[in-house]
Structure 1
Amino acid sequence: MKTTPQTVLKFIVGAVIVTAVLFLVWYFSSIVVYILVSAVLAVMGRPLVKRLSDLRIRGWRVPRWLAALVTLVVIWAIFAACFSLFVPLVFNKINQFAHVDFTVVMSSISEPVARAQHDLQRLFALPESTFSLSDELTTAMRQIIDLDSLNRLFSSVIGVVVSLVIAVFSISFITFFFLKEEGLFYAMVTAVFPEHYHENITRALDSVTLLLGRYFTGILTESLLLMIAVSLVMMAFGMTMADAAFIGLIMGAMNVVPYAGPLIGGILSVLVGIVTPIEGMPVGYTVLVIVCTLLVIKGMDDFILQPTLYSKRVKAHPLEVFLVILIAGSLAGILGMLLAIPSYTVLRVFAKEFFSQFSLVRKLTEKI
């Protein structure tokens, strides 16, 4: 296609509009997140709403608003059941960390620490009097899980709880109306654009809903399977159910963050193994079990599940996905990596609808 002044002008106008929309999305990010989460919940609950709305009890048909309300209650009941299983594990472990005797912990790993210090001193020619790996590890562990840090954590939890209450109320309110009035989310989005773009916007929203639904379903399934697998293997090696479930929870939750999440989860899991080793076994054995288990299971996950999840489910090349995650991580850290794939998927779909005349856009969106 030849480049004409009209084409360039259309591209510039489109780029300005996209920039303005992205700025508004960033400025009102919390509200946008509420709306998007509500839209996802509405998509998940729509089949139940339809089934309930079709019910007839002695000639009385269940009204749509009641079906939407029951569906919303069911959704939150499922989330509450999940939290009730895992929240006690987290708080019990925090309480356990608060009463850790670091002298005992460091003495249990004194031999491997001494060997590591000897190797570091030989490698970097460090005098023995200026460096003590044992003291450095003790200081670092005290800073990570000391009582003051835990108190600050509990103080911040109060603020998080207040924000969470506001978020739950807002999401519940928005989700109820999305469930009650089918097509309301589409109407809200299309209302922002001129009428002659409504067909393009509707097609884009259909594609986004399908792709993101596949992506989120896949990543939640992957995290759940990883959590179960890690927990079962840990228990098979003699770890208590509480500690095994806690490590499984860490790995399952951190697995949602691409690439960096499992590494952070692995470090935290090793820390748990050092503080609370397998009963009757040395700390080194516990750490070895944790490291080997995570390497094997995550290796299988990376080579079997993730290629399907991160590339086929959003219909993008694996290298393309990796570079997007890397760029997003450089710009916005962990949060950027978490939102990279969903955001990129939305941008690709809308680019296909409005900028398909450009060869780069056609190349990036040819599989959608």
Structure 2
Amino acid sequence: MTTTPQTVLRFLAGAAVAAGVLFIVWYFSAIVGYILVSAVLAVIGRPLVGRLAALHAGKWRVPRPLAALVTLIVIWTVAAVLCSLFVPLVFNKINQLAEVDFGAVFNSIGEPIARAQHRVQELFALSESSFSLSEELSSALPRLLDLDSLNTLFSSIIGMLFSSVIAIFSISFITFFFLKEDDLFYTMVTAVFPERYRDNITRALDSVTLLLGRYFTGILAESLLLMIAVSLAMMAFGMPGADACFIGLVMGVMNVVPYAGPLIGGVISVFVGIVTPIEGTTVGHTASIIVFTLLAIKGMDDFVLQPSLYSERVKAHPLEIFLVILVAGSLAGIWGMLLAIPSYTVLRVFAKEFFSQFALVRRLTEKI
């Protein structure tokens, strides 16, 4: 299709409208966040609502509001059970780290630290008397993990939890009505746009729901499998169940962040292994077990599961996804990397509906 002044003006007008919408979304980001979380929960719970609403005893059928309420209770019950399983595990590990004698830990890994110190001294031309890596690490880590700092952190977390009560109530309220009225979310979105765009918006929402549903279910399933695999592998090498499950939890949670997350999770896991090594083995042996186990499991994950999740599930080229994640990470850090793929998917779907006359848009959205 030939580009004309009219199409350019349409594009500029559409870009201006999109910029205005993005500004409104940013300004009311908290409310928009409640709505989006509620929409995701509604997508997850919709099949259960449908099954409950289909139940009947004679002429009496389960009312849809009751089915929506029961589904909402099930969702929050599952969330509470997961928190009751993992939150104590995390807090126990943090308290355990706070009581560790870091001097004894560094004495047990003195030889690797000595080699690292020698290389640092050679690289930066430092004298032995002016720099001691062992002393620097043993003095810095207790400051990071001392009990007072941890208590302050816990107090901040508790305060944040109290402040998020309103968020939980809001999300629950909105989710209930999204479950109760199947097309309510579509109605809210389409009401913002002119009537002539209703079909385009509906098609875009259908595509977004399908693609993001596949992506979120895939990434959650992958993280769960990774958590179980890492935990079982660590226990097979003799690591206590609590430590193995903690490392599995760290890797499973951090796996949600593309590319950078598993690296950060691996560093945390190795640190945990160094501080609390497997009984009967040296610190170096424990660290080696963790490193090689994570590399093996993540290698299988990257070659088997990741391609289908980060490219096929959102219908984009792997290099395209990688560049989007890099840009988002440079702009907004970890949160940017976490939200990069969902946000890019939404933008591609709406671009296909409204700007398909441009060759670049057609090239980027041809697989959708």
Equivalent position of 2:162 in the other structure: 162
Equivalent position of 1:249 in the other structure: 249
**Secondary structure of 1:131 counterpart:** coil
Any residues of structure 2 matched to 1:172-251 within 5 Å, and which? 172-251=172-251
User: Where in structure 1 are there 5+ consecutive unaligned residues?
Assistant: none
Q: State the Cα distance separating 1:299 from its structure 2 match.
A: 1.4
CA distance in 2, matches of 1:160, 1:232: 33
Deviation track 1:48-76 (CA, whole Å, cap 9, x = no partner) reads 11111121124221111101000111111
Equivalent position of 1:3 in the other structure: 3
Deviation track 1:308-357 (CA, whole Å, cap 9, x = no partner) reads 10000000000000000000000000000000000000000000000000
Any residues of structure 2 matched to 1:94-113 within 5 Å, and which? 94-113=94-113
Deviation track 1:163-218 (CA, whole Å, cap 9, x = no partner) reads 33222111110000001111000000000000010100000000000000000001
Q: Once structures 1 and 2 are overlaid, which stretch shifts more, 333-342 or 114-123? A: 114-123
Deviation track 1:72-102 (CA, whole Å, cap 9, x = no partner) reads 1111111111111111111111111121111
Q: State the Cα distance separating 1:118 from its structure 2 match.
A: 2.1
Any residues of structure 2 matched to 1:81-100 within 5 Å, and which? 81-100=81-100
Q: State the Cα distance separating 1:140 from its structure 2 match.
A: 3.0
Q: State the Cα distance separating 1:295 from its structure 2 match.
A: 1.1
CA distance in 1, matches of 2:237, 2:248: 14
Amino acid in structure 2 at the alignment position of 1:32: V
User: Where in structure 2 are there 5+ consecutive unaligned residues?
Assistant: none
Q: Once structures 1 and 2 are overlaid, which stretch shifts more, 85-94 or 356-365? A: 85-94
* Paired residues of 2:257 and 2:334 also in contact (CA < 8 A): yes
Deviation track 1:116-174 (CA, whole Å, cap 9, x = no partner) reads 21233234432101111101211331233122321221121122202332221111100
Equivalent position of 1:282 in the other structure: 282
Equivalent position of 1:14 in the other structure: 14
CA distance in 2, matches of 1:4, 1:252: 50
Amino acid in structure 1 at the alignment position of 2:111: E
Any residues of structure 2 matched to 1:1-368 within 5 Å, and which? 1-368=1-368
Identity %: 76
Amino acid in structure 1 at the alignment position of 2:81: A
Aligned length: 368
Amino acid in structure 2 at the alignment position of 1:278: I
CA distance in 1, matches of 2:134, 2:305: 39
CA distance in 1, matches of 2:130, 2:154: 37
Give runs of ≥4 in structure 1 deviating > 4 Å: none
Amino acid in structure 1 at the alignment position of 2:243: D
Q: TM-score, normalised by structure 1?
A: 0.98
CA distance in 1, matches of 2:89, 2:25: 36
* Paired residues of 2:53 and 2:62 also in contact (CA < 8 A): yes
**Secondary structure of 2:82 counterpart:** helix
Q: Once structures 1 and 2 are overlaid, which stretch shifts more, 268-277 or 179-188? A: 268-277
CA distance in 1, matches of 2:211, 2:140: 43
Q: TM-score, normalised by structure 2?
A: 0.98
